[in-house]
Structure 1
Amino acid sequence: MAPAPLLGPVYHGWVAFLSPELASRAQFGWTISVHIIFASLSIGLAPFIIYFTWKDVRTDQERFARLRSFWVKVFAAGFVMGTVTGIPMSFQFGTNFPRFAEVAGELIGGPLAFEAKMAFFLEAVFLGVLLYGRDRVRDRTYILSSVLVGFGAWLSGFWILVVNAWMQTPRGYEMVTRNGVEVARLVDPVAAFLTPRMPWMYVHMINASVISVALLVGGVSAYIVWKRETQAWNTALKLAVMLLLVSAPLQAVHGDAYARHVEDTQPQKFAAMEAHYETGRADLHLLAFPKSPDAITDPRAENLFTVSLPGVGSFLASGGDFDAEVVGLNEYEENPPVALVFWSFRMMVGLGFLFIGLALWGGYLTYRGRLSDSDRYLKTMVAASPFGYAAMLTGWYVTEIGRQPWVIQDELRTSEAVSATLSGAEATLTLTGFVVVYTGLVLTALYILRWLIQDELQELGIREPSDDRWHGPLPRVSDDD
């Protein structure tokens, strides 16, 4: 089978540049990977901010005011970073994928405009009230502001996923010729906006964001509780555990059903998720280890050591038949980079089960009244705090890379969407620039979070950690900082 057409390096003298297609795909992939981190931060923080704001206003307790103030600042930093990292993506449609913009412009233009006008500005306006209006507006207005900020974040996610879901399962359009060019014309907005993929993607993404932020809140809270047990951060830690108890198992159950939908609508992607090459009965690989270095880049049954459930892949794909036929990758002329999809899927699922374990462990400790006293659990939560984002990103890689070679499923290939005038040198150099700048933005965000944690520790009277206490992976705080 021929691999996806990545069109390897292009040589200019002694310098090798990536092909325009590969560099453009890598650039957009890197851009959206960083943007998703900040966008999901806003989505996942929404329930925390609403709860802390409501409790602060209703009880007037210092612990809720402290938590509200801290996490609103984190939300604001993430909102700014999300805006900065998100704006260039729309321009990349024109600079790197003009054919895609030309074909799908009528279908994706509306949702992207709605996201800016209905969600972004709603979120931005009322975030200002949350930051500066506690003593300037009525209590009801302040609580309403938190709700509208959260609603704006979730609404923004809705419109963005409308676009992506349409690319996965396009509906509500017809191909017409305009000025000699074949483009998609919107004929049914409801069908186009609410495609078969949309509800699956939205629930999975919103819940993934909640899980990621619950782990982040839990990690920060566990670190501060370790330094100095306080009522406020004990409260935040318990809330994070409670949300994990609900969201982590829900993600597993929903993901199982989601996989069946993927097999129905994108069987090639489903086959890539399991590296299923031969059409027929499919096993489910619970664990997979490469027998040789080649298996890392080309996972196949003969070069993997697997712990598999016979026929369960067919059972999941069909919804109940262990002998159901699953179409293999050998049936297709072009396949996605199977290794990236296969290993990303395994990492996502493996981390998902880890989150369920953390949730159950934390729930048990909470029930026994020992959550803040378990040093082992506090250390584990701090270490696991970034894993939610790792699971989310690998899930997105399965979704996006698994769709290749299509940018619009069964309608427009990625190779056909790339700019014909873009050179390998231009694409590679701009990719390098985006990697450097966006890495700087991520490091800046981490610095801001570190600074906020330092400030919180100083307000709690913790200047220098004692030598006999565990300090975790976060930097030490001293009077010189």
Structure 2
Amino acid sequence: MGPLTLLGGVDPTWAAFLSPELASRMQFGWTISVHILFAALSVGLAPFVVYFTWKDVRTNDERYERLRSFWVKVFAVGFVMGTVTGIPMSFQFGTNFPQFAEAAGELIGGPLAFEAKMAFFLEAVFLGVLLYGRDRVGDRTYVLSSVLVGVGAWLSGFWILVVNAWMQTPRGYEMITRNGVEVARLTDPVAAFLTPRLPWMYVHMMNASVISVALLVAGVSAYIVWKKPDAEAWNTALRLAVVILIVTAPFQAVHGDAYGRHVENTQPQKFAAMEAHYDTGQADLHLLAFPKSLDALTDPRADNLVTVSLPAVGSFLASGGDFGAEVIGLNEYEENPPVALVFWSFRFMVGLGFLFIGLAMWGGYLAYRGRLSESTRYLQAVIAASPFGYAALLTGWYVTEIGRQPWVIQGELRTSEAVSSTLTGTEATLTLAGFVVVYVGLVLAALYVLKWLIRGELRALGVRESGEGRWRGPIPEVTDDD
């Protein structure tokens, strides 16, 4: 591995803090956590870009031209950062998890190739048209470009989730021995690509991305409206974001409930971890949970938690209607996932989901009364909540991925068996540290660009930055040329 080469072949044992398996899992988890922020930005922003582009071309309204121009630039930033953060993950299959790559290569190679050639290039080519072709192509071509960019983003998500859904509920394969290694051989492409998990995961993930971006659009719009109340374009964007939240936030809760039943049917161990359900039998549903001690943070159990629960409702949801249904407990398994991470991530995700529903209903009421942009409290609440959509998306992803442990391919290949046998703890730890530093830099760079775009928009609206770093109200006598 690279770190030892850079150190002249000397093994710095002082750096070997983590085992190769743990460091590799943390490294892949970290890279995909950052990557998913930008991937979700592309997926969630695509419908907004299509709508703003269509309205701009159709109405020739300055509001939509301003919104299209701003959010296409944000989309471009997300696309570039998503590409930069996503490429290393494919290499990690070979450097950190070669056994997984060898065992599952025949199943995952096709969808990953489709993602690159069918989705990535489609998105990249027509994003160029969106960025530079407004005065160079016809109106229909320009609108079609926005649609194809959105199709590319959503296709990309589809093929990536095909791979992940297969790892969760593998189908359409048989295990054979090839060159002394047990590998999965593709036997039914339709069954392998369209697994039982795929529709649940795809709908939930795409909707979560739209919610995350709707909150971002609402937050940016609310900030600009707060600084410039008569900014018509951003009042329009704020109303649109609220309408989208009214639809998507409640739908996510309803869909998540049904998704949970599917998880219990296909991965009962993960379902038990989500509720920290240890003893087989009737299961409660914990609406709220508070630790009685610090130990409860790392080992949540009924006797060390203060919970607000609905008795037997866990059984009802798991079975689809039977309050007395038996739910298998974690004590039935020899090895469990990190229960605390799954349990608290699930609580955090669900809690934020209800917060989003509340914000959506509050905003809908204000919009109905014609006071959406006049409510300072609501604008401040939306600004504060703008990053929470991504927090909910990440914690939901942690429930999905960490809850699957100890399996990298459910029921077939353990994560410990997938890690490279030649990788040392020193190498894995040093590369993990490197990825943390580089990816933090990339996130900060993206946030800086977003801040720069917002400041540019405020300057265009006549709002200027004071010497103390705070933005003043409108200064009509100052123009963009000054």
TM range (shorter): over 0.9
Which residue in the other structure is 2:110 paired with? 110
Instruction: Determine the C-alpha separation between the residues in 1 that align with 2:15 and 2:48.
Output: 50
Which residue in the other structure is 1:238 paired with? 239
Match runs of 1:432-471 below 5 Å: 432-464=433-465
Which residue in the other structure is 1:5 paired with? none
Contact 1:272/1:342, CA 8 A, preserved across alignment: yes
Which residue in the other structure is 2:307 paired with? 306
TM-score by length of 1: 0.94
Which residue in the other structure is 2:33 paired with? 33
In the superposition, relative to structure 1, how do residues 20 and 13 fare at CA in structure 2: closer, same or farther (>3 Å)? closer
Matched, 1:188 2:188: yes
Matched letter for residue 119 of structure 1: A
* Residue 367 (structure 1) shift: 0.4
SS at match of 1:371: coil
Which residue in the other structure is 1:357 paired with? 358
Contact 2:13/2:426, CA 8 A, preserved across alignment: no
Instruction: Determine the C-alpha separation between the residues in 2 that align with 1:15 and 1:412.
Output: 29
Which residue in the other structure is 2:335 paired with? 334
Matched, 1:74 2:74: yes
In the superposition, relative to structure 1, how do residues 254 and 466 fare at CA in structure 2: closer, same or farther (>3 Å)? farther
* Residue 202 (structure 1) shift: 0.2
TM-score by length of 2: 0.94
Q: Deviations over 1:119-139 (max 9, x none)?
A: 000000000000000010000
Match runs of 1:10-409 below 5 Å: 14-229=14-229, 230-409=231-410
SS at match of 1:176: strand
* Residue 181 (structure 1) shift: 1.1
Instruction: Determine the C-alpha separation between the residues in 2 that align with 1:347 and 1:15.
Output: 34
Q: Deviations over 1:247-268 (max 9, x none)?
A: 0000000000000000000000
Instruction: Determine the C-alpha separation between the residues in 2 that align with 1:470 and 1:253.
Output: 41
**Root mean square deviation, CA, Å:** 1.4
Matched letter for residue 17 of structure 1: F
* Residue 177 (structure 1) shift: 1.2
Instruction: Determine the C-alpha separation between the residues in 2 that align with 1:75 and 1:299.
Output: 40
Which residue in the other structure is 1:6 paired with? none
SS at match of 1:357: helix
Contact 1:227/1:465, CA 8 A, preserved across alignment: no
* Residue 17 (structure 1) shift: 1.4
Q: Deviations over 1:151-209 (max 9, x none)?
A: 10000000000000000000000011111111000010000000000000000000000
Q: Deviations over 1:310-352 (max 9, x none)?
A: 0000000000001100000000000000000000000000000
Contact 2:290/2:307, CA 8 A, preserved across alignment: yes
Mind listing any 5+ residue stretches in structure 2 that lack a counterpart? 1-10, 473-479
* Residue 464 (structure 1) shift: 3.1
What is the identity percentage for the equivalent residue pairs of Structure 1 and Structure 2?
84
Segments ≥4 residues shifted beyond 2 Å: 11-16, 464-467
* Residue 69 (structure 1) shift: 0.1
Contact 2:312/2:323, CA 8 A, preserved across alignment: yes
In the superposition, relative to structure 1, how do residues 330 and 12 fare at CA in structure 2: closer, same or farther (>3 Å)? farther
Contact 1:263/1:269, CA 8 A, preserved across alignment: yes
Matched letter for residue 451 of structure 1: W
Count the aligned residue pairs.
461
* Residue 392 (structure 1) shift: 0.2
Contact 1:171/1:192, CA 8 A, preserved across alignment: yes
Mind listing any 5+ residue stretches in structure 1 that lack a counterpart? 1-10, 472-478
Instruction: Determine the C-alpha separation between the residues in 1 that align with 2:62 and 2:306.
Output: 55
SS at match of 1:17: coil
SS at match of 1:141: helix
Contact 2:316/2:325, CA 8 A, preserved across alignment: yes
In the superposition, relative to structure 1, how do residues 60 and 312 fare at CA in structure 2: closer, same or farther (>3 Å)? same
Instruction: Determine the C-alpha separation between the residues in 1 that align with 2:84 and 2:175.
Output: 34
Instruction: Determine the C-alpha separation between the residues in 2 that align with 1:129 and 1:77.
Output: 15
Which residue in the other structure is 1:417 paired with? 418
Instruction: Determine the C-alpha separation between the residues in 1 that align with 2:457 and 2:144.
Output: 26
Instruction: Determine the C-alpha separation between the residues in 2 that align with 1:19 and 1:141.
Output: 53
In the superposition, relative to structure 1, how do residues 470 and 257 fare at CA in structure 2: closer, same or farther (>3 Å)? farther
Contact 1:269/1:402, CA 8 A, preserved across alignment: yes
SS at match of 1:334: coil
Instruction: Determine the C-alpha separation between the residues in 2 that align with 1:12 and 1:311.
Output: 54
* Residue 466 (structure 1) shift: 11
Instruction: Determine the C-alpha separation between the residues in 2 that align with 1:68 and 1:13.
Output: 54
